[in-house]
Amino acid sequence: MNTEHRTPQRSRITTAFIAVSLLFMISACSDDQPTTVQERETYDIFQLYEMTTDVGAGSTSVAASFRTGGESGEYVTLTAEDAITFNGAPLTLTSDNQAQYRRNLSVALSEGLFRYTDNNGAVRTTSVRASDVREIRMNLVDTIDASVDNTITWQGGASNADEAIRTVVTYSVGSMNSTAVTDIQSAGLSSISIPAGSITAPSGTPVSVRLIRRRILPLPVQTTAGGNVIVGYDAGEKVVIVR
């Protein structure tokens, strides 16, 4: 009789233990994982936001990209026309390989706000400040030899570990427009080279060269897919001649 009485008791204790364990597991998961479909959509998307300011020209370029699963994942095309905005204005879907959405503004901004609405309606905002990146000034001669590496130095201090230095070279030959982009990220850099052969313009062609310091920061609110905010300082355009 005692045995028959204790067996249900052990069963009840075991059942209670399992129920408490499951409740604890669900609670623990809820602390770390998004709880709604909308949140999961946002958390599974790698988000990249960029703001580059050219103080000399009085202009700002902003861009945003969204990829599935991580930085090298496939682009996600947003369905709503205003799914990604900067200071309330929508960014435009582009066809270039440097950014998915872009907008150019004729004012040198000190700060701004990206607003992203994912395909399920969840909203995320990310602020950016121009003061988060140091100024840079380009040293460059008036001509360039396209057959050799061309080294560009600058004023404004060597690069930090969280900074990348970029050159953007653009030129036209007939009806063909070309752009060559070079990026280097490493601490202590004081120069960058435009590789030989990256400019395929004949002698006498005017070439636009830009030097940009880009500070790469983590997304303020991280997602499972990750994300970054890049703040850039554009040293301005210098036109040189291919010799």
Tens digits of per-residue pLDDT, 207-229? 999 999 999 999 988 778 889 99
In this prediction, residues 85-109 reach a mean pLDDT of: 90
Q: Is the pLDDT of residue 1 over 50?
A: no
Cα 91 versus chain centre, distance: 14
Residue 6 has pLDDT above 60, yes or no: no
Is this structure's pTM higher than 0.95? no
Count CB-CB contacts under 10 A for residue 47. 25
Closest by CA to 55, choosing from 133, 119, 108, is 108
Amino acid at 219: L
User: What integer pLDDT is reported at residue 60 of this predicted model?
Assistant: 98
Structure tokens at 2: 């005692």
Amino acid, single-letter form, for residue 68: T
Which tokens hold the place of 125?
């905002």
Mean pLDDT of the chain: 83
Write the pLDDT tens digit of every residue in 144-202: 999 999 999 999 999 999 999 999 999 999 999 999 999 999 999 999 999 999 999 99
Alpha-helix runs per DSSP H in the chain: 2-32, 37-43
- pLDDT at position 161, please? 96
Query: Residue 98: its pLDDT value, please?
Result: 62
Mention every residue, 6+ apart, whose C-beta is less than 8 A from residue 196.
Answer: 146, 147, 148, 149, 150
pLDDT tens profile 29-55: 334 443 333 444 566 889 999 999 999
